A and B are shown apart, each in its own frame.
Chain A
Amino acid sequence: MNLSPQTKQKIAFTLLGLAAVIVIVPVALILAILIKRGLPAISWQFLTEMPRMGMRAGGIFPAIMGTLCLVFGAIGVALPLGVLTAIYLVEYARKSWWTRMIEIAIVNLAGVPSVVYGLFGLGLFVIFFQFGSSILAGSLTLAIMELPVIITSSKEALMSVPRSFREASLALGVSRWQTIRHVVLPNALPGILTGSILGISRTAGETAPILFTVAAFYLPRLPKSVFDQCMALPYHLYVLSTQVPNVKQALQYGTALVLVGMIFLLNLVAIIIRSRMRSKKQW
């Protein structure tokens, strides 16, 4: 069969379009199912009450609070560390084997499986540092895990600040650190924030790293200190859907919807910051 190039192109483009549809339809389907089945379960009580009857009734308040604690704990550690590393790589480092080593380390940190982070957190924070299964251990584990995301996006944000800004400042006799502190960072901040928020949102949904470092199966109270265990939304969903028999489906879907909703809300904030930054940019 000898088709003309134009016909071949039509066939090829149709197939490619079809592939795009195959990728997108499940996304829409997943969201539709979550909303349709999860929304009826969500009420003020569901969001603000403790779970009751072995999690078969009541709300998910401690899981929501636990996830918030973990997320903010992780970002508190990872943000300064990540931004400073990015500053080093963009502003100070020269091209050398050492810089290349750091880059390879970042790439590999990004690729370490989440459950291996869990093992690492268990070995280092829970046992070696004797933090026990606690919010502290979980947050630190998650912080190391999200470090590569924050470094990568901060690097991009720093690199997008034009060279001429730095040169102008240095030419005025301002020192290097002052230039970074007062010229580069303020201009790169929205980009850094966007990337970090995307990092946070990923953290909120992670289950494997918190399995052995913090997550409590059933703990119907709020944590009192960073050395307490806590419940967390993703682990709660795991428990509800595999470990506890006879849970109403509405509860499971409701939990899943709250988790996804929280992540999308964070993403939305990031997108808003990004678009405002773009409109403000004058170069």
Chain B
Amino acid sequence: MRKFREAIIEKAILLNGFACILFVILIFVFLAKDGLTLFRTITIQDFLFGRIWSPLAEPPQFGILPLFLGSLVVTLGAAVISVPLGIACAIFIGEIAPRWMRETLKAGVELLAAIPSIVIGFIGMTMLGPVVKNLFHLPTGLTALTGSIALAFMAIPTMVSIMEDAITSVPRTYKEGSLALGATHWQTIYRVIIPAASSGIVAAIMLGIGRVIGETMAVMMLTGNASVIPKTILAPVRTMTATIAAEMGETVRGSEHYFSLFAIGLVLFGITFLINFLADMARHRKRQ
């Protein structure tokens, strides 16, 4: 009897383990079900490489190239800002800062992670936008750059916490060996510790970037929402995520426009799936 009960419980728990895989599959299926319907009327080439996104025009055009490039510009901008800052901050916290400062900085980074994206977007609109506008003499402060800056700060907590883990998990003996050979602390950091932690750092960067690509509310509020192919980082852009969030409310269920938003979702899902998969591989390799 007891054995029987144990077996039942074990099976139930095993079933739970299956739930996560089921959810990933379900997400894919429900995006694909509606997203792929679009390609009955529109070719995949026109969708992926079409240069105009104007779903309400007559005839409507569903080219996501401007949206994709919008996401790309904002993401690259955010990466350029957040990667050096993140690495520097993680090294400072993990290696240099005295104990009290380390705790304060970590708490600060955690606070940053706890601020929701909608609040970052709101503060960015009221505070950062005007600064960007006046600094570059632009007609509007809501540009790709504004979005990049805000997103960089949303990616930094993810990056710093994983990088710091990677840096502190480098065996002490490596560091001691290097210091014993007469290297300075800084030489030890960039010749020994960073190379030893490199796969964790790479994973951190990828996860941070994954977060930036998927970020929705802050970009929607900060990048100006112009679905044209951006020429500079100071132009308003519109990202894939913002397009879904902004237009889903206006669509008719079962229309081409509705399906096209699911198709964008499918593209986003594919991109983030790939990034996260690779990042996990990088982290996994470290452990072996």
Contacts and interface: CB of A to CB of B under 8 A. Distances in A.
Interface of A: 5-6, 8-9, 12-13, 15-20, 22-24, 26-28, 30-31, 33-34, 81, 84-85, 87-89, 92-93, 99, 101-120, 122-124, 127-128, 144, 147-148, 151, 175-177, 201-202, 204-208, 211-212, 234-235, 237-238, 241-242, 249, 252, 256, 259-260, 263-264, 267
Interface stretch (B23-31, B38-46, B57-65, B227-235): B23-31
Contacts of B16: 81, 84-85, 87-88
Contact of A127 (B19, B160, B253): B253
Interface in B121-148: 121-123, 125-127
Nearest to B112: A27
B156 A108 contact: no
Nearest to A91: B13
A89 B17 contact: yes
Given A116-B31, A208-B216, A237-B119, A17 B241 contact: no
B244 interface: yes
B13 A208 contact: no
B13 A84 contact: yes
Contacts of B272: 108, 111-113, 116
Interface in B210-249: 210-211, 213-217, 221, 241, 244-245, 248-249
Interface residues of A: mostly helix, strand, loop or mixed? helix
Contacts, number: 255
Interface residues of B: mostly helix, strand, loop or mixed? helix
B221 A242 contact: yes
A176 B6 contact: yes
Interface residues of B, number: 87
Contacts of B262: 119, 123
A93 B16 CA distance: 12
B10 to A, nearest CB: 6
A26 B216 contact: no
B181 interface: no
A89 B13 CA distance: 9
B24 A108 contact: yes
Contact of B119 (A84, A88, A108, A205): A205
A257 to B, nearest CB: 9
A102 B122 contact: no
Please name the 5 residue pairs, one residue from A and one from B, whose CB atoms are nearest each other, closest first. Answer: A205-B116, A113-B214, A19-B88, A111-B276, A9-B186
B10 A102 contact: no
Contacts of B277: 104, 107-108
B10 A177 contact: yes
B192 to A, nearest CB: 14
- Among B84, B126, B216, max chain A CB count under 10 A is at B216
Contacts of A87: 13, 16
B23 A19 contact: no
B80 interface: no
B36 interface: no
B116 A259 contact: yes
Contacts of B127: 33
B153 interface: yes
A212 B248 contact: yes
Contacts of A122: 248
21 contacts: A13-B96, A19-B85, A30-B119, A31-B111, A89-B17, A92-B10, A92-B13, A102-B21, A111-B211, A113-B269, A118-B244, A118-B245, A118-B248, A123-B31, A147-B20, A207-B217, A208-B241, A241-B121, A259-B119, A260-B114, A264-B114
Contacts of B10: 92, 176-177
Interface of B: 2, 5-6, 9-10, 12-14, 16-21, 23-24, 26-27, 30-31, 33-34, 84-85, 88-89, 91-93, 96-97, 105, 108-112, 114-123, 125-127, 153, 156, 160, 183-187, 189-190, 207, 210-211, 213-217, 221, 241, 244-245, 248-249, 253, 261-262, 265, 268-269, 272-273, 275-277, 279-280
Contacts of A92: 10, 13-14, 17
A29 to B, nearest CB: 8
A134 to B, nearest CB: 16
B21 A105 contact: yes
A283 B20 CA distance: 33
Nearest to A84: B16
Contact of B96 (A17, A249, A256, A259): A17
A119 to B, nearest CB: 4
A16 B185 contact: no
Nearest to A115: B216
B241 A123 contact: no
A106 B115 CA distance: 23
Given A108-B276, A256-B119, 12 more contacts: A18-B88, A27-B112, A34-B123, A85-B20, A87-B13, A93-B17, A109-B23, A111-B214, A112-B272, A113-B268, A127-B253, A176-B6
Given A27-B111, A104-B277, A238-B217, A151 B96 contact: no
Contacts of B89: 16, 19-20, 23
